[in-house]
């Protein structure tokens, strides 16, 4: 297949996150290095505090008003938060793209959404009912919990009948979804796709499992910082309306950016230990598909989780790919502002990278940064930096060694 025969552009974006619930507030908070991470009370009061799950925890938690006008089948009993987040973000993306529900342009749109944990809270509540209250699970449990619930909810809410599915590949889920949607448009299977990811904070048992892995930070996410000590979990959704360049131009749509390349591979080495060589190969795959050389990239939105091992491996991979040019490429991770949203993180960060290109500002890595000599990169710290670049990479490197990298451009150039 000639991957350049049908180019894929972005005409709408939507965001729900701890750092803002629309594009404007998301940009304002990220560009000011204002973190939405805070100490919150866990949503499930039934179980109470335990050593594995304290009553209060550090997280990037979303505050979101209910969405009005939904059909009865999408009412409260049928939706976990990851589906609610996806509905909000999808509505924003469609509105920005100028596509109204029920129109011919809307009808053919497909949906691919990534999630790492799906409707986790539905199973948590079912377990509480079964093992504590000795009552059967609610009849909507499966509908709330299944991994495709968010994608299905979006199709039902907005009347989208195109090819639709869910993808689950841990922290790379949303980037895989965006890449897969691009492949479907390039192959001619669809003209328009809504793609991205949605995630909610882990529930009682799931959060306890994260604590047992000993990767959670007690005091904040600081990617690439010498004092970094782990992940802070987050939640939210990021969705992009993707179209073929021909379709977007035919309807006079405003073009927000282009997905020029998509790299994906597997490290095939370890569940948790990151592999720099495989990360580097994935970045090269994205560059090759885009037809770029490393010197043409002017910004990198890093996976940057804030763990010692991941950030060191990613920094090494960037230096392997970019060589001497690595010292001149601004790098940042937005996870310090919204938390690690797992299956939604790749979409939130892809949107952050596109906004950086559009505003001509490299987003800061966080309010403060202590350089780590083991992560010798040009980390943007403290405040935005002027950015003349038109091309960027957005990295997603998941547990289990599944990788995805998106090559992004500000505007199509003929």
Question: With 0-12 CB in 10 A as exposed, 13-18 as middle and 19+ as buried, what is 69?
Answer: exposed
Active-site residue (options: 88, 176, 340, 403): 340
SS3 168: coil
Task: State whether residue 221 is helix, strand or coil.
Answer: coil
Site of tokens 């009553």? 55
Cα separation, 197 vs 150, in Å, equals 9
**Integer Cα distance of 169 and 343 in angstroms:** 7
- The dihedral region occupied by 270, where left means phi > 0, alpha psi between -120 and 50, and beta the remainder, is beta
Token pair 């799950």 is found at 53
In angstroms, what is the C-alpha Rg of the chain? 20
SS3 content of the chain, % helix, strand, coil (to 5): 40, 20, 40
Q: Which helix (H) or strand (E) holds 335?
A: helix 335-338
Smallest Cα–Cα separation from 296: which of 170, 173, 392?
A: 392
Q: How far apart are CA 322 and CA 276, in angstroms?
A: 13
Q: Which residue among 42, 88, 171, 384 is the active-site one? A: 171
Euclidean distance between CA atoms 355 and 30, whole angstroms? 10
- Catalytic residue check, 340: yes
Catalytic residue among 88, 176, 303, 403: 303
Would residue 359 show up in a list of annotated catalytic residues for this protein? no
Active site residue 225: no
> Which residues are designated catalytic?
171, 303, 340
């Amino acid at each position: 297949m000639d991957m350049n025969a049908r180019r894929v552009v972005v005409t709408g974006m939507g965001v729900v996150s701890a750092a803002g619930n629309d594009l404007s507030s998301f940009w304002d908070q990220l560009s000011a290095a204002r973190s939405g991470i805070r100490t919150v009370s866990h949503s499930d009061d039934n179980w109470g505090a335990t050593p594995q799950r304290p009553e209060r925890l550090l997280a990037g938690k979303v505050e979101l008003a209910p969405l009005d006008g939904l059909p009865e089948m999408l009412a409260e009993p049928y939706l976990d938060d990851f589906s609610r987040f996806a509905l909000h973000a999808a509505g924003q993306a469609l509105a920005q793209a100028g596509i109204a529900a029920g129109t011919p342009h809307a009808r053919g749109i497909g949906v691919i959404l990534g999630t790492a944990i799906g409707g986790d809270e539905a199973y948590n509540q079912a377990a509480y009912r079964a093992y504590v209250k000795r009552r059967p699970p609610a009849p909507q449990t499966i509908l709330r919990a299944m991994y495709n619930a968010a994608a299905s909810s979006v199709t039902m809410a907005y009347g989208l009948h195109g090819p639709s599915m869910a993808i689950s590949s841990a922290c790379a889920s949303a980037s895989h979804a965006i890449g897969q949607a691009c492949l479907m448009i390039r192959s001619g299977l669809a003209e328009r796709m809504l793609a991205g990811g949605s995630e909610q904070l882990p529930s009682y048992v799931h959060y306890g499992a994260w604590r047992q892995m000993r990767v959670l930070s007690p005091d904040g996410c600081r990617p690439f910082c010498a004092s970094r000590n782990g992940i802070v979990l987050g939640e939210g959704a990021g969705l992009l309306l993707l179209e073929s360049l021909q379709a977007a131009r035919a309807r006079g749509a405003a073009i927000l950016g282009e997905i020029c390349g998509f790299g994906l591979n597997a490290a095939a080495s370890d569940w948790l230990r990151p592999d720099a060589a495989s990360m580097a190969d994935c970045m090269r795959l994205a560059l090759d598909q885009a037809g770029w050389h490393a010197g043409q990239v002017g910004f990198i939105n890093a996976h940057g989780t804030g763990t010692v091992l991941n950030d060191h491996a990613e920094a090494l991979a960037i230096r392997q790919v970019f060589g001497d040019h690595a010292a001149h490429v601004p790098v940042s991770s937005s996870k310090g502002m919204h938390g690690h949203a797992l299956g939604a993180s790749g979409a939130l960060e892809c949107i952050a990278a596109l906004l950086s290109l559009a505003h001509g500002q490299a987003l800061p890595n966080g309010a403060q940064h202590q350089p780590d000599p083991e992560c010798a990169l040009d980390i943007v710290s403290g405040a935005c930096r002027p950015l003349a670049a038109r091309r960027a990479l957005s990295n997603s490197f998941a547990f289990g060694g599944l990788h995805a990298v998106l090559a992004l451009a500000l505007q199509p150039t003929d």
